[in-house]
Amino acid sequence: MWLADGWKDYQVIDCSKGEKLERWGEYFLVRPDPQVIWDTPKRHKCWRHMNGHYHRSAKGGGEWEFFDLPQQWTIGYHELIFNLKPFSFKHTGLFPEQAVNWDWFGKKIKEAGRPIRALNLFAYTGGATLAAAAAGASVTHVDASKGMVGWAKENAVSSGLAESKIRWLVDDCVKFVEREIRRGSHYDAIIMDPPSYGRGPKGEIWKIEDAIHPLVKLCVQLLSDEPLFFLINSYTTGLAPTVLTYLMSTELIPKFGGIVDSQEIGLPVKESGLILPCGASGRWER
């Protein structure tokens, strides 16, 4: 398992009975987590004194309950600063477990010894975009949500990266990749964090089990002659690490060689000393 254990401003304090207790800077949130199927005593005082609690509804979705929580605040990871705010379906605008991937590809970009062009698909609020830009890459950031791209730009400003080489695009990721192929564009690195299910800006339906392999095949056509890495993140139960390895190996290794490694990613839990699993990542590199 790849562990995101470099945080100072974020921490999973405890998890039990379908929920996790987290510290985001100076604020404590309780949010549901489907991986937390165990029933252990909730002894930590912040279970009773949290700043925000997302209650899941039996009918689907849910709602936030707030206790002295600002509308927006920030946390940092090394030189990066992220603007947080609770919004739809329990999210805060950041997936802290992805820091383990930021560290990995940030090091590769810094050590490449050449300019690196990176493409970040389903780029959300820009965690990977900013990590790549901070390491020196020029980044094309693509997401179908105008609001998420705007949020990512705010994070870039907060992180002192407003003048970095980042191209911000609100677009359907598949259609963008198809256009880039026709234009003859190429990238040295590709990052993708596809949702399990979603819709593009014009109602395009995305279902990961059906769409991920065709998209990877398209993205291979965008890679430069000397690509640096290819990263796929998955929060979908059916896409286990071994599936990601098989998918990437069949499409990338015959053309570029290199190696593929896929693992669960996780976060340390303070109270138990155990690891909370948070999806999986597949990495190809030369």
List the chain domain ranges: 2-84, 96-285
Same fold, 2-84 and 96-285: no
Mean pLDDT of the 97-103 span? 98
Report which residue type is found at 93.
G
Q: Please report the pLDDT score of residue 198 as a whole number.
A: 76
Q: What is the mean pLDDT of residues 175-185?
A: 98
User: pLDDT digit string (tens) for 108-157?
Assistant: 999 999 999 999 999 999 999 999 999 999 999 999 999 999 999 999 99
User: Across-strand partners of 80?
Assistant: 77
Predicted local distance difference test score (pLDDT) of residue 229: 98
Distances (CA, A) of 187 to 2, 133, 197, 217, 222: 26, 14, 26, 14, 6
The band of 260, judged by pLDDT with boundaries at 50, 70 and 90, is very high
Confidence of residue 200 (pLDDT cuts 50, 70, 90): low
State the average pLDDT for the chain: 95
The mean-pLDDT minimum among 83-87, 91-95, 197-201 falls in 197-201
Instruction: Give Cα separations from 271 to 17, 45, 60, 160, 257 (angstroms).
Output: 15, 12, 30, 35, 43
**Taking residues 165-176, what's their average pLDDT?**
96
Provide the CATH topology of domain 2-84: Immunoglobulin-like (2.60.40)
| pLDDT greater than 80 at residue 202 | no
Mean pLDDT of 41-50: 96
Which numeric CATH code is attached to 96-285?
3.40.50.150
- Least trusted range by pLDDT, from 176-185, 200-209, 266-275: 200-209
pLDDT over 70 at 21, yes or no = yes
pTM of this prediction? 0.94
Q: Which of the residue ranges 89-93, 137-141, 258-262 would you say has the lowest mean pLDDT?
A: 89-93
pLDDT bucket at 61, cuts 50 / 70 / 90: confident
DSSP assignment of 109-122 equals HHHS-S--EEEEES
pLDDT of res. 257: 98
- In the chain, which residue ranges form alpha helices assigned H by DSSP? 99-111, 127-134, 146-158, 173-183, 208-220, 241-256
pLDDT reading at 284 higher than 90: yes
Interstrand relation of 205-207 and 166-170 (parallel, antiparallel or unpaired): unpaired
Coil, strand or helix: which one is 180? helix
Does residue 201 have a pLDDT over 70? Answer: no
Give the model confidence (pLDDT) of 203-259 as tens digits: 777 788 888 999 999 999 999 999 999 999 998 877 899 999 999 999 999 999 999
